[in-house]
Amino acid sequence: MNVPVRITGASYSSNSPIASWIDDRQLLNYLNVYPYIAPDELIPFRPFILRLAINKSAGKVTVVKKDQECRGPNLQWDFELTVLPREILDFLPWIVSLVKADHKGSPSLLQVPPHPFEFKVPTVGLFNQAWTAKAWLLANSTMSHNL
């Protein structure tokens, strides 16, 4: 799956850039990284945790060039990975393998993740949401302290 990837300046959910591509089924796919939780003025000690989303709410994204053939957004598959900032670069090759595994319908193409994570296995297809163990522990320990 060797396709051009386009980077644009903003997404529907934030002002962070998104990467998008048209697969060989002529479906628009996209990837966005944004803060899941972050410190702010009210809660300055809140941890900084990132979420990487693929095709999440894909119906709201329209970044197709006029000269590209596209049948619309990929509504058949989405995925979210929640990580600590120091973990995200380690996951880039794994994310590529995840996209390829989904595209070819072959979970065997999925590499071993670089960090342990928590996820729910669906009854059909690949799982669509995962948290690294460290992000899960940090988020849950922070939320239990704020209750």
pTM recorded for the entire structure? 0.81
Q: Round to whole Å and give the CA distance between 10 and 1.
A: 25
Mean pLDDT of the chain: 83
pLDDT grade, residue 62 (50/70/90)?
low
Whether 38 is in a domain gets the answer: yes
pLDDT tens digits, one per residue of 3-43: 878 888 755 555 678 888 998 889 999 999 999 999 999 99
The total number of structural domains that make up the chain: 1
Whether 116 is in a domain gets the answer: yes
> Using an 8 Å Cβ cutoff, are 114 and 91 in contact?
yes
Whether 1 is in a domain gets the answer: no
Whether 14 is in a domain gets the answer: yes
Provide the residue range defining the domain that includes 139: 6-146
Burial zone of 57 (CB within 10 Å; 0-12 exposed, 13-18 middle, 19+ buried): middle
